[in-house]
Structure 1
Amino acid sequence: MNNEFYKNLEKSVSNERLSHYFTIFQTEDKKIIIRKYLLNIELSKSFYLPLQKLETTLRNNIHTTLSNQLKNDNWFEISDFLTNDSYKKISEAKNNINKELTPGRIISELNFGFWCALFSKPYDQKVWNKYTKLIFPNIPRKYATRKVLMKKTNLIRKFRNKIFHFDTIINIKNLFEIHKEILEMIYWLNKDVYKLTIAFDEFEYIYNNEEKIIKEKLDELSKDNQ
Structure 2
Amino acid sequence: MAEELPDWMLHAFSEPRLNRYLRATGGDAAAATRLYWWNVEASAALYGPLHCLEVTLRNALHDRIGQRYGADWWDAFPLNGNGRRLVARARRKCEERGMRSVPADSVVAELSFGFWASLLSRGYDRRLWVPILHRAFPHYSGRRGVLYDSLWSLVLLRNRVMHHEPVHHRDLAADHAKIYRLLGYMSPELVKEIQALDRFPSVLARRNGPDSRF
Cross-structure match for 2:189 = 192
The structure 1 residue matched to 2:179, chosen from 165, 177, 182, is 182
How far 1:133 moved relative to its partner? 4.1
Cross-structure match for 2:40 = 41
Cross-structure match for 2:62 = 63
Cross-structure match for 2:124 = 123
Cross-structure match for 1:87 = 84
- Residue by residue over 1:13-66, the C-alpha shift from the partner in whole angstroms, topping out at 9 and shown as x without a partner, is 2122222111111133x3222111100100011110111111000000001111
Cross-structure match for 2:51 = 52
The structure 1 residue matched to 2:165, chosen from 148, 164, 167, is 167
Structure having greater relative contact order (Cα 8 Å, sep ≥ 6): 1
- Residue by residue over 1:140-192, the C-alpha shift from the partner in whole angstroms, topping out at 9 and shown as x without a partner, is x2x2x2211111111111111111121111122x2111111111101111122
Distance 2:208 2:127 in 1: 51
Aligned CA-pair RMSD: 2.1
How far 1:128 moved relative to its partner? 1.0
Instruction: Name the larger-Rg structure.
Output: 1
Identical aligned residues as a percent: 24
Unaligned runs of 5+ in 1: 216-226
Distance 1:211 1:180 in 2: 16
**Partner SS state of residue 47, structure 1:** helix
Q: Retained in 1: the 8 A contact 2:69–2:76?
A: no
Distance 2:208 2:123 in 1: 49
**Partner SS state of residue 130, structure 2:** helix
- Residue by residue over 1:102-143, the C-alpha shift from the partner in whole angstroms, topping out at 9 and shown as x without a partner, is 11111111111111211122211121112344201222x2x2
Distance 2:126 2:112 in 1: 23
Distance 1:85 1:21 in 2: 35
Q: Relative to 1, partners in 2 of residues 1:19 and 1:128: Cα closer, same or farther, differing over 3 Å?
A: same
Q: Relative to 1, partners in 2 of residues 1:133 and 1:124: Cα closer, same or farther, differing over 3 Å?
A: closer
Distance 2:154 2:111 in 1: 17
TM-score with structure 2 length normalisation? 0.87
**Partner SS state of residue 27, structure 1:** coil
Give the total of aligned pairs. Answer: 202
Matches within 5 A, 1:197-212: 197-210=194-207
TM-score with structure 1 length normalisation? 0.83
Query: Post-superposition, which runs of at least 4 consecutive aligned residues in structure 1 deviate over 4 A?
Result: none
Distance 2:18 2:86 in 1: 36
Distance 2:130 2:116 in 1: 17
How far 1:211 moved relative to its partner? 10
Cross-structure match for 2:156 = 158
Q: Relative to 1, partners in 2 of residues 1:96 and 1:6: Cα closer, same or farther, differing over 3 Å?
A: same
**Partner SS state of residue 167, structure 2:** coil
Distance 2:107 2:117 in 1: 16
